[in-house]
A and B are shown apart, each in its own frame.
Chain A
Amino acid sequence: MATPVLALPGRGRKRAGLPAALRAKRRREGLAALGFLSPWLLGFSVFFAYPLLAAVYFSFYYYDQFNAPVWVGLKNWDYILFNFPDFVTGLQNTLWLVVVMVTLQTVFGLGVAMLITKIKRGGNIFRTLFYLPYLAPPVISTLVFVYLFDAGGPINAILAHVGVHNPPGWFNSPTWFKPSLTLLSLWGIGNTVVIFFASLLDVPKEQMEAAMLDGAGPVKRFRFVTLPAIQPVILFSVVTGVIYTMQYYTQAIVAGEVASGHVATAGTTLDIGYPLGSSLTVPQLIYQQGILNANTGPACVLSILLFVMTMLFTLILLRRKNGLVGGD
């Protein structure tokens, strides 16, 4: 791991040409850095590195968290990858959310951000208004939305007033569950808007004015000036959006549970995926297998798969250019 390696900064590779004083300073800095970093490195080893390795270990065992683990070889892997249709359903749902929800979040977030740049008076109130939903605890926003879209709830009542007497089943319909979730996620878009808003303010004014003088209309100005300028921010937002969508959990499980009318109170079994598996996501399966069913092995297989999927996209954020990490 990183710990012991970091202990000896500047060693190994020859640092020819560096004056002795500078080298000494480097070493001092290295040691100080190690001092400051060590609690975190310890924490990382215990709370990230260890569980990752232990998950690999447990993925080869049957372990009910009560009796001693039993070696089962590749059985858990075989089960999850080839004999567990819920995993496929979870992946399909995630794919849907990645394609539809992340796209709409980006477009809508950018739209609202651009709207804000146009509003001069009353902009403050508006900004507060769109940011507040983001701060609402996910459990609460989900409960509110399930209530709003309930068959006997306010949205359908309003729809009936305007002549829609055959509204969709929203959170009770396998077709409409994810679109309803998407609406919920658009409601809580505040953070993305702030990020886009800040990047829009950074679009070079001179370029914009030059384009205007050249006679470019708003669409062209957006296409050839704004978009290239904020393109890194958009990419970044999409990538983190995809990563967070793969972790989608609270809203999906709470909405499914509450809409089903079978909230896991005493005497009921938690039925994730309601309706018809449309709310199922991989993190929920980890919770179901590992915590609810106390079946550690399959849960760890799912954990490792989720880790791999996350890291694939995290690599984009780790690029040297335009990444989060920066150069050496």
Chain B
Amino acid sequence: MSHLRRMTGSAAAIAAVLTAAACAGSTAPAQQKITAVDPYPTSKPDVTINLWHGFSEGSENDAFNAMVASFEKAHPNIHVKVTGNITDTQIQQGIKAGGSQSPDVAVSFTTDDVGTYCSTGQWINLKQDLAAAQIDVAKTFPAPLINYTQYQGDQCALPLENDAYGLYYNKTFFQQAGVTDPPKTLSELQADALKLTQKNPDGSFKRIGFFPSFAYFEQVPGHFTSVFHLKWQTPTHNSLLASDPGFTAMLNWQKSFEDAILNQTPKSTAKQLTDFMNKSMGAGEFTAGQNPFETGAVAMSMDGEWRNANLKAETPNLSYGTAPFPVQDSDAASYGGGYVTGTVIGISSRSAHQDADWELVKYLTTNTDTLVAFANAIQNVPSTIAALASPQLTQNPNFQTFVKVSGNPNSATTPASPNGGQYQQTAQTWIATWEAGQVSNLPSALSALDTQIDKDTNAGVRPSGS
């Protein structure tokens, strides 16, 4: 055998392996046709569904399992194997890997990824299933929730509980500082924050009224979408941060807020503020009893409705109130709304029994009794119109604040992108340089940021026309 022949031989072998790899995507996932209202009646053989979700805390797990148990009782031939504490990356890896271990139904905490699930076809479009079950989406779910569960007309997810954001304030500190009502506008927020801030003589912080930073736990730029009416993207997913006056307004608001806090006598340095924030945040957002709002390091903060549950469990003696987040002074009429997002659920296109999966998803997302019980247990806002109106829902005012935010027409969410939440991530990373004072020419920096986000989207999304 000649040297050359041997070479070609191995080259052919390699080519064969490469071709095999290239065909890796050919195990085409398919959507099963569903026409019946009840596509998997009890007469059908036993089946087991892999259900992956992100709940990790004991009480949340218990509440979720209770909901699943009530489903299994109603459908004795459908068994659900529940796996918790799962991230979105894991869900996507699991679906791609396929096989008997992979998730058939998945619960995601990140509405940002709905675009990815829909555009890649990892989750099936539920339109026909909804039609077969005679569920009118518009009459079942509040409008913003329908928005964040679909992508370019594909309803590939359904809402399972809703998260709304608002202002948490420490009533004891309010009383001490003589603040009577929660702020309704951003200038009121700033004025109150200054009253509530306490410094040492050297300018270092003892307590801050409000952290003027997007690096503070839940105060990420995306959560200000409703306050500044942020657009983020064109319908064809081109970034428009430079041309969106709201985005610039948001940045300038942060800067002037920070300056006001620093310049309040005794004057502080930016480092003193960063140090104080790092120290307060050090233990992590969810360390029991160590959240800055719980320790009293901060008097007001933006947070989700679920914080109520943490506060109740961890610092039951804390006297606090909740309110919708303040709005721009020029925009007082929009007060009452907030950022809304939520937990979503979808069916893997790799699943071999989508009829049974749909029974589960239908039950979890539309059964009023279990939804209300679940919402009460984990202190989330329920996700259907019927459940929101249920008298069984917790009437606690601090919780009702968020129920109202959730139903407010001024509430908004971040747009779905085929590249997931990466555009927000990139913006947030850039904002850290803005906060560090490293940006000299804002308009050109924002254009550069737009270009980068578009480049990332272009590299991360399937080329069009293929």
A–B touching in complex (CB under 8 Å): yes
A36 CB-CB contact with B under 8 Å = no
Task: Across the interface, name the chain A residue whose C-beta is closest to B54.
Answer: A266
- CB distance A5 to B6 under 8 Å? yes
B252 CB-CB contact with A under 8 Å = no
Question: What separation, in Å, do the CA atoms of A172 and B122 have in the docked complex?
Answer: 37
Which of B6, B282, B421, B460 touches A295 (beta carbons < 8 Å)?
B460
Question: What separation, in Å, do the CA atoms of A84 and B451 have in the docked complex?
Answer: 11
Which of A72, A83, A84, A292 touches B89 (beta carbons < 8 Å)?
A292
- CB distance B87 to A65 under 8 Å? no
Question: What separation, in Å, do the CA atoms of A72 and B460 have in the docked complex?
Answer: 12
Give the interface centre of A3, A68, A277 by most chain B CB atoms within 10 Å: A68
- CB distance B9 to A4 under 8 Å? yes
Residues of A within 8 A of B121 (CB): 66-67
Which of A70, A84, A150, A265 touches B466 (beta carbons < 8 Å)?
A70
- CB distance B87 to A265 under 8 Å? yes
Given A265-B85, A266-B86, A66:B279 Cβ within 8 A: no
B310 CB-CB contact with A under 8 Å = no
B463 CB-CB contact with A under 8 Å = yes
Residues of B within 8 A of A190 (CB): none
A183 CB-CB contact with B under 8 Å = no
- Chain A, residues 51-95, CB within 8 Å of chain B (1/0): the string is 001100110011111111110100110010001110000000000
Shortest A306–chain B CB gap in Å is 18
Of B16-24, B353-361, B366-374, B389-397, the stretch lying at the interface with chain A is B16-24
Question: What separation, in Å, do the CA atoms of A277 and B425 have in the docked complex?
Answer: 12
Residues of B within 8 A of A166 (CB): 275
Residues of B within 8 A of A79 (CB): 455, 458-459
- CB distance A269 to B54 under 8 Å? no
Residues of A within 8 A of B3 (CB): 5
| Number of chain B residues close to chain A: CB under 8 A | 61
Which of B14, B96, B110 touches A50 (beta carbons < 8 Å)?
B14
B62 CB-CB contact with A under 8 Å = no
- CB distance B96 to A65 under 8 Å? yes
Question: What separation, in Å, do the CA atoms of A181 and B87 have in the docked complex?
Answer: 27
Question: What separation, in Å, do the CA atoms of A70 and B466 have in the docked complex?
Answer: 7
- CB distance B281 to A62 under 8 Å? no
Question: What separation, in Å, do the CA atoms of A263 and B287 have in the docked complex?
Answer: 12
B93 CB-CB contact with A under 8 Å = yes
Q: Chain B at the A interface: mostly helix, strand, loop or mixed?
A: helix
Of B70-78, B237-245, B379-387, B429-437, the stretch lying at the interface with chain A is B429-437
Residues of A within 8 A of B47 (CB): none
A275 CB-CB contact with B under 8 Å = yes
- CB distance B455 to A294 under 8 Å? no
Given A151-B282, A266-B109, A261:B217 Cβ within 8 A: yes
Shortest B104–chain A CB gap in Å is 16
Residues of A within 8 A of B460 (CB): 293, 295
Residues of B within 8 A of A84 (CB): 455, 459
In the complex, which residues 20-50 of chain A have their Cβ closer than 8 Å to any Cβ of chain B? 49-50
In the complex, which residues 168-200 of chain A have their Cβ closer than 8 Å to any Cβ of chain B? 169, 172-173
Task: Across the interface, name the chain A residue whose C-beta is closest to B217.
Answer: A261
Shortest A201–chain B CB gap in Å is 45
Residues of A within 8 A of B1 (CB): 4
Question: What separation, in Å, do the CA atoms of A293 and B419 have in the docked complex?
Answer: 8
- Chain A, residues 98-130, CB within 8 Å of chain B (1/0): the string is 000000000000000000000000000000000
Shortest A275–chain B CB gap in Å is 7
A232 CB-CB contact with B under 8 Å = no
Question: What separation, in Å, do the CA atoms of A50 and B19 have in the docked complex?
Answer: 12
Residues of A within 8 A of B316 (CB): none
Shortest B437–chain A CB gap in Å is 12
A10 CB-CB contact with B under 8 Å = no
Shortest A151–chain B CB gap in Å is 4
A positions within 8 Å CB-CB of B: 1, 3-5, 49-50, 53-54, 57-58, 61-70, 72, 75-76, 79, 83-85, 150-153, 166, 169, 172-173, 261-271, 273, 275-277, 291-295, 297-298
Q: Can you name 27 A-B residue pairings with CB atoms under 8 Å? A: A4-B1, A5-B3, A5-B6, A57-B22, A62-B462, A64-B462, A66-B25, A67-B25, A67-B120, A72-B463, A79-B458, A84-B455, A151-B282, A152-B279, A153-B282, A169-B275, A172-B282, A173-B278, A261-B285, A266-B87, A266-B88, A267-B54, A269-B110, A270-B89, A271-B428, A273-B429, A276-B433
8 more contacts with CB within 8 A, not counting A173-B278, A267-B54, are: A3-B10, A4-B6, A65-B25, A67-B462, A150-B282, A264-B87, A264-B89, A294-B92
B positions within 8 Å CB-CB of A: 1, 3, 6, 9-10, 14, 17-18, 21-26, 29, 53-56, 85-89, 92-93, 95-96, 109-110, 112, 120-122, 217, 274-275, 278-279, 281-285, 420-422, 425, 428-429, 432-433, 436, 452, 455, 458-460, 462-463, 466
> Which 6 A-B pairs have CB atoms at the shortest separation, nearest pair first?
A266-B54, A267-B109, A151-B279, A68-B25, A4-B6, A151-B282
